Structure formats: C-alpha cells, structure tokens
Structure 1
Amino acid sequence: MITTNGLTKVYRSQDREVRALDDVDLHVRQGEVFGVVGTSGAGKSTLIRCVNLLERPTSGTVTVDGVELTALSGSEQRAGRELRAARQRIGMVFQHFNLLSSRTVQDNVELPLEIIGLDRRERRRKAAELLDLVGLADKARSYPGQLSGGQKQRVGIARALAGDPKVLLSDEATSALDPETTRSILRLLRELNQQLGLTVLLITHEMEVIKSVCDSAALMRGGRVVEAGQLTDLLADGHSRIARDLFPLGDFGTGGDPERTVLEITFQGDAPAQPFVSQLARTYQIDINILGAAVETIAGRLVGRMRVELPGSHTDNVVPIGYLRQQGLQVDVLDLSNGAAA
C-alpha cells in the first residue's frame, strides 16, 4: 500500500547541508498498522511528510495505493490535479490537532469536504457520521477550546477520515496526551483500521505505542531505517533491537561466568501457557535460575521473552537447549562478553 525506494531528503542552507532522510526503503502492507519509531532527529516526521508530499523528496520514489506520487508534479495543471486526487486518499493526523478555534467541531470536520466542493447537506451528513464513529456525536456544536486533548485528537481523526482515505498517517498523534488518553486514541486507531480496512502509518518515539497497536515496525536512526519487519518476526530474532527495546531484560546475568549458560527465550502463541521451565528442570534434573521475563500481547498474540541461567558451560547444556527448541521456542545463547545473543 505504501512503498518508498531510495527516499532521500536533503535540506541545504548557505553554509550547511542536513541529510534528514538517507536512502530509505520502506514497505507498508495493505490493511496493517505500521509504526516508525526513533528518537528526535531520526527523520521520522520528515519521512511521513514525504509520503504525502507535504515535503518533496530530494530523490527516490513514493508509491501509495499503486500511484507513484513522486512522478506527479504540481507545476503542470493535469499532474497537479492528479496529485491532489492522490492526496485525498491519504488522511493525516497531527500532533497538535491543528483545529480552527473559531469553528465548531462539526465545522472543523466539514472543512476538507468544503474544499472538495461537497454541498452543505452532504457535508453535514458525512461529518455527523464521522463524529459518531469517533465517539463525539454529542460535541458537534462545541468549540475546540471546550474540549480535552483526547477529544481534540478525535476531532482531528474524524477530519482526516472525511475524504474516505485508504491510508491514515499519524505524526506523533499521542505524544501530547496523558497515558490513559493515549491508550484510548490507540484503541480508536486500531478499531478504525479493522472496521474501515485502513492502512495506518504512525510515527512515534514511544516503544509502548509500537507494542500496543502495531503489526509491523521500523526503527530509524540518523535518517536511515536500520531495522524493519513484522513484529512477530522481529521478536523471534535474537539480534533485533526493536525486540530488545520492547522487552528490556536489563543486564542482569551477563557477568561472564564460564561455568554458567545464559539463554534468552522468545515465546509466542500458545507457548507462554506451557510450563516449559519446570518441565525442563524435572526432565534433566537441573536447577534453573530465572533472571528476567516479560509477557505482552503484541499484534493480537501473546508474546514474551525470558532470560534464564543454567549450570554448566554451553557444551554441557546442548541437550537441554535442544529440548527447548523442540517445544517451538526461540532460544539464543547469550554471548556474555558483550551481552548479545550468539
């Protein structure tokens, strides 16, 4: 649904050049919620603005719903019309709501419908439907100043849906909200994704957002995508930085004792319900030290990571490790010299 190839954005001034995006390749599948996570300055917001061409890339291509937007130029009348039509299929939700304070909630949602020339009666009907969809039917005559932050963001989402988009872009839509309101907005985005078949691309600096709502994710650093994939695949990869940030187990158990073997175990689906630790201990008569564990529901599946310590060297524990893998578990032997999975 959304594909970027070699996407690069360079900002130039008289004495300086900033490469905000550096050869970014990204693929977002139709109907999924895809999160892009990274610290401030990683290039996340520039990426999302290039996806709908609010920022025109320096080089590379952007394709949305089969239309290569970067091939359309606003300088020619026909291409300009094509670009505007393509943008109508892309909704955008902003961090700071961007509502007009002098217009009611209803009128704010109607604004994009006015711009495309829809008649007043149809605008009213459509806006009422959207406000009901986001749970604000009773706030139609209120003004933005009378709303909470979460309610303002719901208005922003309703407005973004006015053009019946196939893609919804969210630029740090929850970063200005408290935790409980953040959770409610994320639940709403997931519901809209499922009810309307929307493809959602969201930008965030919070791993909790990725954990609670996303099917796939990408990690950005220095204008580049350094890791991307479906969350279930990333969590099964012992070297995944996203997985380690989602399930931080700390440094406990990485001291480097050659007479101990430290394992990191990733489990998904039905595996968390299985008592594999106690079964392993009984089967091989070994003492197992649990150093850390975390279990969450990710992309609708129960997923977890656990760090355990077994007595003896790696060679001594080949059979117990094989037993765990036979149970369908992802097992990585921790390299105690650097704390990474071997």
Structure 2
Amino acid sequence: MITTKDLTKVYRSRGREVTALAGVDLHVREGEVYGVVGTSGAGKSTLIRCVNMLERPSSGSVTVDGLELTALAGREHRAGRDLRAARRRIGMVFQHFNLLSSRTVQENVELPLEIIGLDRTQRRRKAAELLDLVGLADKARSYPGQLSGGQKQRVGIARALAGDPKVLLSDEATSALDPETTRSVLGLLRDLNRQLGLTVLLITHEMDVIKTVCDSAALMRGGKVVEAGELTDLLARPDSLLARELFPLGDFGAGHPGHTVLEITFQGDSSAQPFVSQLARTYQIDINILGAAVETIGGRLVGRMRVELPGAHQDNVVPIGFLREQGLQVDVLDQRNGAVA
C-alpha cells in the first residue's frame, strides 16, 4: 500500500547541506498499522511528509495505493491536479491538531469537503457521520477552545477521514497527550483500521505506542531505517534492536560465573505453559529466575524471562532443547558482555 525506494531528502541552506533521509526503503502492507520510531532528528517527520508530498524528496520514489506520487509531482502538465487527487486518498493527523479556532468542530471537519466542492447538505451529513464515528457527535457545535486535547485530536482524525482515504498518516499524534488519553486515541486508530480497512502509518518516538497499536515497525537512526519488520518476527530475533527496546531486560541479573544464563521469549499460546516447573521436574535441576516481564504487544501477549541454570552451556544442551521443543525461543546469554552468544 505504501512503498518508498531509496528515498532521500537533502536540505540546502547558505551553502550547507543537511541530509534528513538517506536512502529509505519502506514497505507498508494494505490494512496494517505500521509504526516508525526513533529519537528526535532521526528523520521520521521528514519521511511522513515526503510520503504525502508535503515535502518533495531529493531523489527516490514514493508509491501509495499503486500511484507513484514522485512521478506525479515531477510532471509539468496537470501535476497539481493529479497530485491533489492522489492526496485526497491520504488522510493526515498532526501533532498539534491544526484546527481553526474560529470554526466549530463540525465546520473544521467540513473544511476539506468544502475545498473539494461538496454542497452544504452533503458536507453536514458527512461531518455528522464522522463525528459520530470518533465519539464526538455531541460536540459538533463546540469550538476547539472548549475541547480537551484528546477531543481535539479526535476532531483532527475525523477531518482526516473526510475524503474517505485509504491511508491515514499520523505524525506524533499522541505526543502532546497524557497517557490515558493517548491509549484512548490509539484505541480509536486501531478501531478505524479494523472497521474501515484503513492502512495506518504512524510516526512516534514512544515505544509504548508501537507496543500498543502496531502490527509492524521500523527503527530510524540518522535518516536511515536500521531495522524493520512485523513485531512478532522482530521479537523472535535475538539480535533485534527494536525487540530489545520494546522489551528491555537489561536491568535483570547476569547470573553467576560458570552457570548458564538463558533468555526465553514466549508469545501467544506458549505464554500459558508452566515451562519452568516442567523443566525443573523433568531434569531435577534448580532454576534461578533472574527477571521476567509480560506485556501485550500489537494485541498479542508476549513475555521474556531470564533464567540461570547450574553448570556450563555444554551441561545444559538437553534442557535447552526441551525448552525449544515447547515452542519457546531460547537464547544463551554471553556473561562476559551480556550479549546473546
């Protein structure tokens, strides 16, 4: 649904060049919620603004729903009209709401419908449907100044849906909200994704946002995507940077010299298995639990545990094999540097 290939954006000012995007390849599948995460300056917001051509890339391509937007933007004739038509299939939700204070909630939602030439009756009907969809039917006559931050963002989402887009872009839409309101807005985005079949691409610096709502994610650093994939696949990879940041176990103990330390990852059905007690009974070994955590990531229960077994690695080959036979991912920790051996 959304594909970027070798996307580059270079800003030039007073003889200096700053590379915001350096060859970004991204693929967002139809109907999924895809998160791009990274620290400030990683290039996230530039990426999303290039996806809808608010920023023109220096090179590379952007394709949304089968249309290559970079090609449309490059045409001399009909470029403006073609690009505007393509953009109507892309909704955009902004960090700071971007609502007009002099317009009511309903009038804010009607604005894009007014721009494309719908008559007043059609605009009112559509706006009422959208406000009902985001849970703000009773706020239609209110003004933005009378709303909470979460309500303002819901208005922004309703406005973004006015053109019946297939793709919804969210640029740090929850960063100005408190945790409870953030969960509510993320829940709304997930509901819209399921009800309307929307493909959602969201930009965030918060790992909790990725955990809560995303199916897939990409980690950006220095204008590049350094890792990307489905969350379930990333969590199953011992070398995944994203998995380590989503589910850190760094504060847990590293075990004793001469013993074997394992990191065990379990997802879905395997999370209900009493594998620690089964292992202890089957092989009559003492297991030291150094740390454990269970979270819901992308709607799926995921856990990670660090345990210590007596004896060296070669003495525990059979118990490790037993755990893997239970459908668990088991990685042996190198006690010298805390990395997976």
Q: Please, what TM-score do these two structures have when normalized by structure 2?
A: 0.98
Distance 2:74 2:223 in 1: 26
Give 2:301's aligned amino acid. L
Deviation at 1:170, TM superposition (A): 0.2
Give 1:225's aligned amino acid. V
Does the 8 A contact of 1:90 with 1:165 survive in 2? yes
Partner of 1:307: 306
Unaligned runs of 5+ in 1: none
SS at match of 2:285: coil
Partner of 2:131: 131
**1:9 matched to 2:15:** no
Distance 1:74 1:149 in 2: 38
Does the 8 A contact of 2:37 with 2:207 survive in 1? yes
Distance 1:317 1:253 in 2: 19
Give 2:185's aligned amino acid. I
The 5 Å alignment of 1:92-111 reads: 92-111=92-111
Distance 1:168 1:176 in 2: 19
Does the 8 A contact of 1:74 with 1:83 survive in 2? no
Deviation at 1:153, TM superposition (A): 0.2
Distance 2:135 2:303 in 1: 33
Cα deviation digits, residues 146-169 of structure 1 (max 9, x gap)? 000000000000000000000000
Does the 8 A contact of 2:270 with 2:327 survive in 1? yes
**1:281 matched to 2:302:** no
Deviation at 1:73, TM superposition (A): 2.4
**1:76 matched to 2:47:** no
Partner of 2:245: 245
Give 1:304's aligned amino acid. G
Partner of 2:226: 226
Deviation at 1:79, TM superposition (A): 2.4
Give 2:208's aligned amino acid. E
Does the 8 A contact of 2:39 with 2:205 survive in 1? yes
Give 1:175's aligned amino acid. S
Distance 1:306 1:70 in 2: 46
Cα deviation digits, residues 163-203 of structure 1 (max 9, x gap)? 00000000000000000000000000000000000000000
**1:62 matched to 2:62:** yes
Distance 1:50 1:186 in 2: 23
Point out the more displaced range, 47-56 or 68-77. 68-77
Deviation at 1:259, TM superposition (A): 1.0
Partner of 1:204: 204
Partner of 2:295: 296
Distance 1:122 1:262 in 2: 64
**1:38 matched to 2:35:** no
**Aligned-residue RMSD, C-alpha:** 1.1
Unaligned runs of 5+ in 2: none
SS at match of 1:270: helix
Distance 1:40 1:276 in 2: 41
Deviation at 1:74, TM superposition (A): 6.5
Does the 8 A contact of 1:284 with 1:320 survive in 2? yes
SS at match of 2:78: helix
Deviation at 1:337, TM superposition (A): 2.2
Q: Please, what TM-score do these two structures have when normalized by structure 1?
A: 0.98
Deviation at 1:75, TM superposition (A): 6.1
The 5 Å alignment of 1:86-235 reads: 86-235=86-235
SS at match of 2:53: coil
Give 2:288's aligned amino acid. N
Does the 8 A contact of 2:8 with 2:23 survive in 1? yes
Distance 1:236 1:46 in 2: 30
Distance 1:63 1:292 in 2: 44
Partner of 1:321: 320
Distance 2:141 2:270 in 1: 51
Distance 2:78 2:17 in 1: 33
Distance 1:10 1:254 in 2: 44
Cα deviation digits, residues 75-111 of structure 1 (max 9, x gap)? 6342221111110000000000000000000000000
The percent of aligned pairs where both chains have the same amino acid is 86
Give 1:283's aligned amino acid. T
Does the 8 A contact of 1:30 with 1:199 survive in 2? yes
Deviation at 1:292, TM superposition (A): 1.2
Distance 1:108 1:128 in 2: 12
Distance 1:142 1:340 in 2: 55
Distance 2:201 2:130 in 1: 20
Does the 8 A contact of 1:258 with 1:313 survive in 2? no
Deviation at 1:294, TM superposition (A): 1.3
Deviation at 1:253, TM superposition (A): 2.8
Give 2:132's aligned amino acid. D
Distance 2:249 2:58 in 1: 40
CA gap of 1:251–1:180, structure 2 versus 1, over 3 A, is closer
Q: How many residues align?
A: 341
Point out the more displaced range, 293-302 or 208-217. 293-302
SS at match of 1:99: coil
Point out the more displaced range, 245-254 or 33-42. 245-254
SS at match of 2:306: strand
